[in-house]
Amino acid sequence: MKKALSFEFFPPKTEEAQEKLRHTRKQLRQFQPEFFSCTFGAGGTTKDGTLNTVMEIMTEGTPAAPHLSCIGATYEGIAEILEEYKSHGIRHIVALRGDIPSGMVSLGDFRYASELVAFIREKHGDWFHIEVAAYPEYHPQAKNAQDDINNFVTKVKAGANSAITQYFFNADAYFAFVDEVQAKGVNIPIVPGILPITSSSQLVRFSDMCGAEVPRWLKLKLQSYGDDIASIKALGLDVTTALADKLLTQGAPSLHFYTLNQAGTVSTICQRLGY
């Protein structure tokens, strides 16, 4: 039996983008995803868009998980969102701190995602399946690697059911991370997040922000293709398919794809993996 897949979207801003996302979901449903998830803008900027997208996905018959980030939020604000999710029958959440938007005046009531996880458990017991974020190459703001590992363990112990990783290209970093946190008593599934490569400049920009390492050989090779999008996509497909295959073969529990609301590249990777 094939391992499960999940796919992540962001809330579309226009009617046209909504329609395009419906089409993306239709294509990805052929892989019988375990769930679709939808991101949540830090500071609550996409609160309605996230909920509307998740509701639409559920109406289409696919399980869905809204992300929820707590930076800048108050206890009351988060409690209200959780009540709303619950009232709509949502039982699966991706709980995050969020990135601190520049110019944000107040950080709000929560400092870390572990506090959000504890808050959700305190208010709603086991109603929600809670996913959290994991960073095999460590979070860019972590004091050091060991501290980041310990903070992840604390977050899991606050009540997380499973974790999804930041994307990475080095499978060894993932397996080393899993070994290390398991040695500290973590036994929840840690699902690799896979980012399809469709643009060289976008990849470098994203990776600088989130602390994912693009191997030197890959960066140089992508850059050498210049504007040759077809070659960039072809190399990207080979690299991500090989990575995903290695992860699945060597024990990753399932895969989570950062789709950027596009189905094409992700579908090809899944097909190449035999889905």
The minimum distance between CB 220 and ligand FAD, in angstroms, equals 26
Tell me the sheet residues that pair with 95.
68
> CA-CA distance, 108 to 110, in Å (whole number)?
6
Q: Report how many residues bind ligand FAD under the rule CB under 6 A.
A: 24
The only residue of 24, 166, 240, 241 in contact with ligand FAD, by rule CB under 6 A: 166
Select from 14, 13, 6 the least CA-distant residue to 57. Answer: 6
Q: Would you state the structure tokens that stand for residue 34, as one six-digit string? A: 């375990």
Establish if 113 lies at the interface with ligand FAD (CB under 6 A).
yes
233 is an interface residue for ligand FAD by CB under 6 A:
no
Can you tell me the distance from the alpha carbon of 246 to that of 47, in angstroms, rounded to the nearest whole number? Answer: 36
- 16 part of the active site: no
Applying CB under 6 A, which of residues 25, 51, 136, 148 lies at the interface with ligand FAD? 148
Residue closer to ligand FAD, measured from CB, 163 or 232: 163
Instruction: Please report which residue ranges of the chain form alpha helices under DSSP H.
Output: 15-29, 47-59, 75-87, 113-124, 145-157, 171-183, 200-210, 216-224, 229-249, 264-272
Q: Give whichever of 78 and 232 is closer to ligand FAD, judged by the CB atom.
A: 78
CA distance 154 to 230: 44
Least distance from ligand FAD to the Cβ atom of residue 117, Å: 9
193 binds ligand FAD (CB under 6 A): yes
Q: Which DSSP state fits 259?
A: -
The span of 75-83, 111-119, 195-203, 218-226 binding ligand FAD (CB under 6 A) equals 111-119
Angle at 210 between CA 209 and CA 214, to 5 degrees: 90
Comparison of 96 and 244: residue with beta carbon closer to ligand FAD: 96
Strand partners, 96: 69
How many CB atoms are located within 10 Å of the residue 132 CB?
25
Binding mask 10-49 for ligand FAD (x = CB under 6 A): -----------------------------xx-x-------
Site for ligand FAD in 73-102 (CB under 6 A): 94, 96-99
For residues 94 and 190, give the distance between their C-alpha atoms in angstroms, rounded to a whole number. 13
Contact criterion met (CB below 8 Å) for 152 and 189: no
Q: What is the DSSP letter of 14?
A: S
Residue 212 or 235 having the CB closest to ligand FAD: 212
The reply to whether 139 sits near ligand FAD by the rule CB under 6 A is yes
Does residue 190 bind ligand FAD (CB under 6 A)?
A: no
Q: Does 67 bind ligand FAD (CB under 6 A)?
A: yes
Catalytic residues: 8
Residues that bind ligand FAD (CB under 6 A): 39-40, 42, 67, 69, 94, 96-99, 112-114, 133, 139, 141-142, 147-148, 151, 155, 164, 166, 193
